[in-house]
Amino acid sequence: MHSIVPVILAGGSGTRLWPLSRALYPKQFLALSGPQTLFQQAVMRLAALAGDAVEVGAALVVGNEEHRFMVLDQLREIGIHDATLLLEPTGRNTAPALTLAALAARTNAGGDDPILVVTPADQTVVDAPAFTVALRAAIEAAADGSLVTLGVPPTRPETGFGYIHSGDGGDAGAVRTVQSFVEKPDLATAERYLADRAYAWNSGMFVLRASVWLAALERFRPDIASATAAAWVARSSDASFVRPDKAAFAAIPSESIDYAVMEPCCSNKGAVSSGNGAGFAVKMVPLDAGWSDLGAWDAVWQVSERDASGNASRGDAIIENSRNTLVHATSRLVSVVGLDNVVVVETPDAVLVADRDRSQDVKQIVAQLQRASRSEATLHRRVHRPWGWYDSIDHGPRFQVKRILVKPGATLSLQMHHHRAEHWIVVSGTAQVTCGDKKLLLTENQSTYISLGEKHRLANPGNIPLEIIEVQSGSYLGEDDIVRFEDTYGRVAVEPKA
């Protein structure tokens, strides 16, 4: 029986899927292929590995501190309540993230040495049974101390992926020895790789023992190993959340799993020794399961159901006299006529129109937005909070209108504003309102007024969602005009400007 710990790396930003993916709501938390989000799909795929020879432990999720409540909510939606969330105060790439998970797995295992099954949170797989077969083969290969990666047989000359060069195992599903990891190629090189059975796309998935990873990292990148260990030793814990020390974590060099360990292992065969004295080997298991990293809108088109003209759509879309086009509508009707090989993505506050072959370049739009400090790079119009969400419906000089949803049992912070007053109208549900020294219950069509500088709080004591309309008026309406006195979610006294 092999004891495994699922590790989901959920810290990516997904800039090439803008405007749907944004810094505070990145692509792994979106439902792009099916009813579940990509993150939820990743968790469920690894949970499905359980069987006669495999025992699956509680998942470890490594992610951004800013996304913690989103992760928790999405885990609860699929019935996962025992996962541990390792919260990175700042991004340091995948090698430190995996090291945190390895340290946590060894700590939780009480001296045992579990096998880590590591996957990014932002991928999709069409053939779940084939995925399970490949991962179980990788678990068997990792049980003897090998570092195992999953390689996807290429189906086209892709220049946007890294490649794995391995020996030809003969059988399509055989475990192979990795010769090298190869950078993203030009088109001519990618065409040569496609014709050569020894090359596979690098999926970014790994299977290895916790002790093997830590030993290999100590050999090739002792700076990352020691710095991450220091951040782990000084960690703090709060229910499901584990936070490495912020200052120590910021000092960790940023590096990927491939660069930190996998490539050096391939070029220094036998140089590293595991606990039993054997040399480390890097192995690859082919993964032929309809895998996609959904790295750009072209990849979303590739995995989408298409009509006879090659068009794919989601939401309220009408496509006429067009070919090989993707239309993704989220809030209104989008109609297109006479397009060829085009991507159209609509959100309430932004629209993208791009040549499908140039969809990788969308990240340049995000870079422009970031340089201009525009909120569209970071936030959607609907902003998710641990208690629910708010949607900025309209705004103008000295006023703003929001639609607010509060989850059953949830409570906003006790707060006040220096520059604005608020008028709340209940649309549905029951609102428990604190305003100064007064407390009152409001139901549908009832309202209240919060004057400037008044301490106030909103809560939902009911069993159904509470929806209100909030009308703000004042000289300044920014999200950083919030002074918090009490907060259930441990947020800072003054919220940063959105």
Residues 270 and 301 in one domain: no
Span of 156-170, 176-190, 376-390, 454-468 with lowest mean pLDDT: 156-170
* Residue 423 · residue 429 · CB < 8 Å: no
The average pLDDT across 444-449 equals 97
Asked whether residue 434 is domain-assigned, the answer is yes
% of the chain with per-residue pLDDT over 90: 85
- Region label for 456, one of left (φ > 0), alpha (ψ between -120 and 50) or beta (otherwise): beta
Bridging pattern class, strands 431-435 and 456-459:
antiparallel
Contact status, residue 498 vs residue 379, Cβ threshold 8 Å: yes
CA 491 to chain centre: 21
pLDDT of 392 higher than 90: yes
pLDDT of residue 110: 82
Average pLDDT over residues 350-357: 97
Mean pLDDT of the chain: 92
pLDDT at 272: 41
Confidence of residue 492 (pLDDT cuts 50, 70, 90): low
> Are 267 and 229 contained in the same domain?
yes
Helix, strand or coil for residue 188? Answer: helix
- Whether 246 and 388 share a structural domain: no
Is residue 376 a part of any domain in this protein?
Answer: no
How many domains does the structure of the chain reveal?
3
pLDDT range class, residue 479, cuts 50, 70, 90? confident
Rounded CA separation 343/187 (Å):
22
Instruction: Compute φ and ψ for 236, nearest 5 degrees.
Output: -125, 155
Omega into 185 within 30° of 0, i.e. cis?
no
Question: What is the structure's pLDDT at 77?
Answer: 95
User: Are 350 and 463 found together in one domain?
Assistant: no
pLDDT at res. 219? 94
Mark whether 213 and 94 lie in a shared domain. yes
**Whole-number pLDDT of residue 278:** 42
Domain boundary among 371, 395, 415: 371
Average pLDDT over residues 284-297: 94
Confidence (pLDDT) at 268: 63
What integer pLDDT is reported at residue 495 of this predicted model?
45
What tokens appear for 92 in the block?
A: 């340091």
Region 372-391: mean pLDDT is 94
Kindly indicate the confidence band of residue 274, based on its pLDDT and cuts at 50, 70 and 90: very low
pLDDT digits (tens, 9 = 90+) for 57-90: 999 999 999 999 999 999 999 999 999 999 999 9
Lowest-pLDDT range, 63-72, 173-182, 489-498?
489-498
Query: Is 347 in the same domain as 401?
Result: no
Is residue 310 domain-shared with residue 408, that is, in the same domain?
Answer: no
Distance CA 192, CA 197 (A): 10
This prediction has a pTM of 0.90
Are 56 and 35 part of one and the same domain?
yes
* The two structure tokens encoding residue 350: 């932004």
Q: 14 and 160: one domain?
A: yes
C-beta neighbour count of 214 within 10 angstroms: 21
Q: Considering 325, 347, 371, which residue would you say is the last residue of a domain?
A: 371
Q: What confidence category does residue 172 fall into, taking pLDDT thresholds of 50, 70 and 90?
A: low
Q: Averaged over 236-257, what is the pLDDT?
A: 94
Residue 380's identity, in one-letter code, is: H
From first CA to last CA, the distance across the chain in angstroms is: 49
What contacts 63, CB < 8 A, 6 or more positions away? 9, 10, 11, 71, 85, 86, 87, 88, 121
In this structure, the answer to whether residues 347 and 446 fall within a common structural domain is: no
Per-residue pLDDT reduced to its tens digit, 96-147: 999 999 999 999 988 789 999 999 999 999 999 999 999 999 999 999 999 9
Amino acid letter for position 395: H
Task: Let me know: does 304 contact 297? Beta carbons within 8 Å.
Answer: no
Domain presence at residue 492: no
Copy the structure tokens of residue 432.
Answer: 């428990």
The pLDDT tens digits of the residues spanning 201-220 come to: 999 999 999 999 999 999 99
Dihedral sign from CA coordinates of 174, 175, 177, 179: positive
Asked if the structure places residue 156 within a domain, the reply is yes
Dist CA 146 CA 49 (whole Å)? 19
Would you say residue 305 lies in a domain?
Answer: yes
Instruction: Classify 439 in phi/psi space as left (phi over 0), alpha (psi -120 to 50) or beta.
Output: beta
Q: Which amino acid is at 491?
A: R
The last residue of a domain, from among 292, 314, 338 = 292
Is residue 377 domain-resident?
no
Domain that holds residue 13: 2-292
Residues 454 and 365 in one domain: no
Q: Residue 497: inside a domain, yes or no?
A: no
139 assigned to some structural domain: yes
Model confidence band, residue 280 (pLDDT cutoffs 50, 70, 90): confident
pLDDT at 14 over 90: no
